[in-house]
Chains A and B, each alone.
Chain A
Amino acid sequence: MSSDRKIRVLVAKPGLDGHDRGARVVAYGLRDAGFEVIYTGLRQSPEQIAAAAVQEDVDVIGLSILSGAHLALTRKVFEKLEAEGAEDIPILVGGLIPEDDKSALQEMGVAEVFTAGTPISSIASFIESRIADA
Chain B
Amino acid sequence: MSETHDDLERIAEAEEQWRRDVLEPRVKRFQLEQSPTRFYTPTANRDFDFLEKVGFPGQYPFTAGNNPFDFWRAHAEAGAKLGIRPDAPGGGGGAGRYSGYGTPEDYRDYQLRMQSLGSRGGPNVAFDLVTQCGYDSDSPNALGEVGRVGVALDSFRDFQVIYEAFTGERDIDKVASNFTINAPAAVIIAMYAALAEKRGIPLEKLRGTPQNDILKEFIARGTYIYPPGPSMRLFRDTLVFCRAQLPKLNVTSIGGYHIREAGATRIQDLAFSFAIGCAYLQAGVDAGLEIDDFAPMFTFNAFGGSMELYQEVAFQRAARRMWARLVKERFGARNPRGMMIRQPIAAHIGCTSTTLQRPLNNLARAMVGGVAGGMCGALPAAYPPFDEPLGLGHSLEAIQLQVDATRILIYEAGVADVNDPWAGSYFMESLTDETEAAAQAELDKIDGMGGAVAAIERGYMQRAIAKSAYERQKRIESQEELMVGVNCFTGEKELEVSVERAVEELYDPGQMATAEERQCAKLAELRRERDGKEVSRTLGALEASAKDEGANLMPDLIECVKSESTIQEICDVLRGVFGEAEPVKL
Question: CA separation between A18 and B143, bound complex, in Å?
Answer: 15
Smallest Cβ-Cβ distance to B467: which chain A residue:
A28
B324: Cβ under 8 A from any A Cβ: no
Closest-CB distance, A96 to chain B (whole angstroms): 4
Smallest Cβ-Cβ distance to A39: which chain B residue:
B586
Interface of B is mostly: loop
Residues on A with C-beta less than 8 A from B477 are: 119-121
B130: Cβ under 8 A from any A Cβ: yes
Closest-CB distance, B305 to chain A (whole angstroms): 12
Closest-CB distance, A110 to chain B (whole angstroms): 15
Chain A 12-48, CB within 8 Å of chain B: the 1/0 string?
0001111111001101110100000101111101100
Contacting residues of chain A (58-111) with chain B, CB-CB under 8 angstroms: 66-73, 76, 96-99
Q: Are the C-beta atoms of B356 and A117 separated by less than 8 Å?
A: yes
Question: CA separation between A20 and B582, bound complex, in Å?
Answer: 15
A117-B355 contact in complex given A25-B473, A29-B470, C-beta closer than 8 Å:
yes
Q: Which of the four size classes fits the interface of chain A?
A: 35 or more
Smallest Cβ-Cβ distance to B135: which chain A residue:
A16
Question: CA separation between A72 and B217, bound complex, in Å?
Answer: 25
Q: Are the C-beta atoms of A17 and B392 separated by less than 8 Å?
A: no
A1: Cβ under 8 A from any B Cβ: no
Chain B 545-586, CB within 8 Å of chain A: the 1/0 string?
000000000000000000000000000000000000011111
Closest-CB distance, B144 to chain A (whole angstroms): 3
Contact partner, B222, options A18, A29, A117, Cβ 8 Å: A18
A68-B473 contact in complex given A18-B221, A76-B143, A96-B391, C-beta closer than 8 Å:
no
Residues on B with C-beta less than 8 A from A31 are: 586
Q: Are the C-beta atoms of B145 and A16 separated by less than 8 Å?
A: yes
Residues on A with C-beta less than 8 A from B141 are: 15-16, 43, 45
Q: Are the C-beta atoms of A67 and B148 separated by less than 8 Å?
A: yes
Q: Are the C-beta atoms of B144 and A71 separated by less than 8 Å?
A: yes
Q: Are the C-beta atoms of A28 and B391 separated by less than 8 Å?
A: no
Q: Are the C-beta atoms of A19 and B222 separated by less than 8 Å?
A: yes
Q: Are the C-beta atoms of A98 and B392 separated by less than 8 Å?
A: yes
Total interface residues on B, CB under 8 Å, equals: 46
Residues on A with C-beta less than 8 A from B399 are: none
Q: Are the C-beta atoms of A69 and B390 separated by less than 8 Å?
A: no
Residues on B with C-beta less than 8 A from A116 are: 355-356, 389
Question: CA separation between A67 and B147, bound complex, in Å?
Answer: 10
Closest-CB distance, A16 to chain B (whole angstroms): 4
Contact partner, A69, options B148, B223, B469, Cβ 8 Å: B148
Closest-CB distance, B456 to chain A (whole angstroms): 14
Q: Are the C-beta atoms of A21 and B356 separated by less than 8 Å?
A: no
Q: Are the C-beta atoms of B391 and A97 separated by less than 8 Å?
A: yes
Residues on B with C-beta less than 8 A from A72 are: 143-144
Smallest Cβ-Cβ distance to B101: which chain A residue:
A68
Q: Are the C-beta atoms of A24 and B466 separated by less than 8 Å?
A: yes
B269: Cβ under 8 A from any A Cβ: no
Residues on A with C-beta less than 8 A from B467 are: 28
Residues on A with C-beta less than 8 A from B145 are: 15-17, 67-69
Closest-CB distance, B501 to chain A (whole angstroms): 12
Question: CA separation between A15 and B132, bound complex, in Å?
Answer: 12
B385: Cβ under 8 A from any A Cβ: no
A27-B261 contact in complex given A15-B145, A17-B222, C-beta closer than 8 Å:
no
Q: Are the C-beta atoms of B143 and A69 separated by less than 8 Å?
A: yes
Q: Are the C-beta atoms of B129 and A42 separated by less than 8 Å?
A: no
Residues on B with C-beta less than 8 A from A25 are: 263, 466, 469-470, 473
Closest-CB distance, A120 to chain B (whole angstroms): 7
Contact partner, B390, options A18, A24, A43, A98, Cβ 8 Å: A98
A28-B586 contact in complex given A15-B129, A43-B133, A67-B149, C-beta closer than 8 Å:
yes
Closest-CB distance, A51 to chain B (whole angstroms): 15
Smallest Cβ-Cβ distance to B354: which chain A residue:
A116
B140: Cβ under 8 A from any A Cβ: yes
B245: Cβ under 8 A from any A Cβ: no
Residues on B with C-beta less than 8 A from A120 are: 473, 477
Q: Are the C-beta atoms of B222 and A42 separated by less than 8 Å?
A: yes
Smallest Cβ-Cβ distance to A26: which chain B residue:
B473
B262: Cβ under 8 A from any A Cβ: yes
Q: Are the C-beta atoms of A45 and B133 separated by less than 8 Å?
A: no
Question: CA separation between A44 and B313, bound complex, in Å?
Answer: 39
Closest-CB distance, A91 to chain B (whole angstroms): 15
22 A/B residue pairs, CB under 8 Å, sorted by A: A15-B144, A16-B132, A16-B135, A18-B129, A19-B222, A20-B222, A21-B262, A24-B469, A25-B466, A28-B466, A28-B467, A28-B470, A28-B586, A29-B470, A39-B585, A43-B141, A45-B141, A67-B144, A69-B148, A76-B143, A116-B389, A121-B477
**Chain A: residues with CB nearer than 8 A to chain B?**
15-21, 24-25, 27-29, 31, 37, 39-43, 45-46, 66-73, 76, 96-99, 115-117, 119-121
Given A15-B144, A66-B391, A98-B392, 17 extra CB contacts under 8 A = A15-B129, A17-B145, A19-B221, A21-B352, A21-B469, A24-B470, A24-B586, A25-B470, A28-B466, A40-B585, A68-B391, A69-B145, A71-B144, A76-B143, A99-B390, A117-B357, A119-B487
**Chain B: residues with CB nearer than 8 A to chain A?**
129-130, 132-133, 135, 140-145, 148-149, 217, 220-223, 261-263, 352, 355-357, 389-392, 466-467, 469-470, 473-474, 476-477, 483, 486-487, 512, 582-586
